[in-house]
Amino acid sequence: MHIGLNAHLLSGKAGYRSAGIHGYIYNLLANLPTAAPPGWDFTAFVGANNAAQFDGITMCRSRWDTESPLKRIVWEQAAQPFSVNRFDLYHALAFVAPIWLQTPSVVTIYDLSFLHYPQVLSPARRLYLRLFTGLTCRRARRVIAISHSTAQDVAHSLGIAPEKIDVAAPGYDADVYQPLASEQVSAFRAEKGLPERFWLFLGTLEPRKNLPTLLNAYAALPKSERLPLVLGGGKGWQYDDIFATITAQHLEADVLLPGFIPAAELPLWYNSAEVFVYPSVFEGFGLPVLEAMACGTPVMVADSSSLLEVVGAAGLRVPPHNVAAWTAALQRALTDDQWREQSREQGLQEARRYSWRGTAERTVMSYRRALAVE
């Protein structure tokens, strides 16, 4: 079998846009050849300036620079269809396949935020995804969702038969995301000027992360019960409410904003934090929560979307918009040593359910179903 994969959302440079979908695609490509049967070949299409290489995968670089969303859309719909006829199966790694595609296909859906939170995208990109994602899913032989929550959303919102949807959840690198030595963590805190105890959020600063609710809950704590709160992540879109809430609640001295955090530093940030807080109201999966648990950091998450299946029995689950409930959860995180230790141990156990090798194996299983190969 020869599988073609559209990997044009594999980012060629660091930044908040290189997280999320990029990380999923990168780790899938790194593990796919060894998860596939002998004799299966893979070709991945990437942009002109992308230098990524993967053992067992032929990289096909476009003549176009497809970093621009508009150029990427034109390439997907106008140029790509002429390149994929030689494949037994085509995998659209992010939402949309060419409308003129004749090759059997599989498509991966990360979330339907463009339907439920349309402000996250420009009108043109939102229209493109709304027009073509449902069509792609209906025409594909299999649809891959990255969580059971997303699978249910795809079935309900796009009208796709549940039996046509497979789940291939993300994983993490257990050699990277793990509890680190206390000396290493202390040295990192000193290097970054971080306090001994603090609470941490990591993610793009955008509306669906629900940070104003967290900030209002934090402000309701007595001053003596506030640990410093670190909101790490690049500015995404419509983030003004976050900074306005910090100003309105006079939290400038208590909230730290380090900006975008390089991937190489993430395990140190997770290990340095006393608790990881993630109030997001909508996630396709919630990879930062998994990474924090793998590092042995207690987690506190919104009781919403896919986050419940990620944390399993670990962590505190809080109604997403209930400010008083978040305040109470923060107070417990501060004072309940037994809860923190229990959450740490349960989080490490829950994290072991996920691996990138498992992601690749479930993707290959979806390919087999699409091709009716046993």
Q: pLDDT for 122-181, tens place per residue?
A: 677 778 888 999 999 999 999 999 999 999 999 999 999 999 999 999 999 999 999 999
Q: Which amino acid would we find at residue 89? A: L
Q: Which residues of 143-153 are buried (b: 16+ CB within 10 A; e: fewer)?
A: bbbbbebbbeb
What tens digit of pLDDT does each residue of 333-346 get? 999 999 999 999 99
Q: Which amino acid would we find at residue 72? A: R
| Structure confidence at residue 122 (pLDDT) | 67
In sequence order, what are the beta bridge partners of 277?
300
Q: Residues near 131 by Cβ (< 8 Å), separated by ≥ 6?
A: none
pTM score of the predicted model: 0.91
Q: Residues near 25 by Cβ (< 8 Å), separated by ≥ 6?
A: 7, 9, 10, 93, 94
Can you tell me the distance from the alpha carbon of 4 to that of 339, in angstroms, rounded to the nearest whole number? 47
Q: What percent of the chain has pLDDT over 90?
A: 75
What tens digit of pLDDT does each residue of 91-113 get? 999 999 999 898 999 999 999 98
Q: Residues near 186 by Cβ (< 8 Å), separated by ≥ 6?
A: none
| Structure confidence at residue 235 (pLDDT) | 83
Q: Give the SS3 label for residue 31.
A: helix
| Structure confidence at residue 17 (pLDDT) | 42
Can you tell me the distance from the alpha carbon of 235 to that of 339, in angstroms, rounded to the nearest whole number? 32
What tens digit of pLDDT does each residue of 201-246 get? 999 898 889 999 999 999 999 999 999 999 999 887 778 899 999 9
* Token pair 């992601």 in the structure block, residue: 359
State yes or no: pLDDT of 373 exceeds 80.
Answer: no
* Token pair 């107070």 in the structure block, residue: 331
Q: Residues near 315 by Cβ (< 8 Å), separated by ≥ 6?
A: 289, 293, 298, 299, 300, 301, 343, 346, 347
Is there a contact between 322 and 283 (Cβ–Cβ < 8 Å)?
no
- Average pLDDT over all residues of the chain: 92
Is there a contact between 296 and 271 (Cβ–Cβ < 8 Å)?
yes
pLDDT band with cut points at 50, 70 and 90 for residue 16: very low
- For helices 323-335 and 337-351, what crossing angle results, to 10°? 100
More confident residue, 125 or 281: 281
DSSP assignments along 218-280, one per residue: HHTS-GGGPPPEEEES-B-SS-HHHHHHHHHTT-TTTEEEEE---GGGHHHHHHH-SEEEE--
| Structure confidence at residue 15 (pLDDT) | 42
Nearest 5°: CA angle at 194, between 251 and 210? Answer: 45
Rounded mean pLDDT, 280-308:
94
Q: Give the SS3 label for residue 300.
A: strand
**Alpha-carbon dihedral sign for residues 212, 148, 266, 65:** negative
Q: Which domains are seen in the chain, by residue range? A: 2-171+355-371 (3.40.50.2000), 182-351 (3.40.50.2000)
| Cα–Cα distances in angstroms (integers) from residue 216 to residues 136, 164, 251, 327, 336, in the given order | 41, 42, 10, 8, 22
Is there a contact between 25 and 94 (Cβ–Cβ < 8 Å)?
yes
Pair type for strands 255-259 and 316-318: unpaired
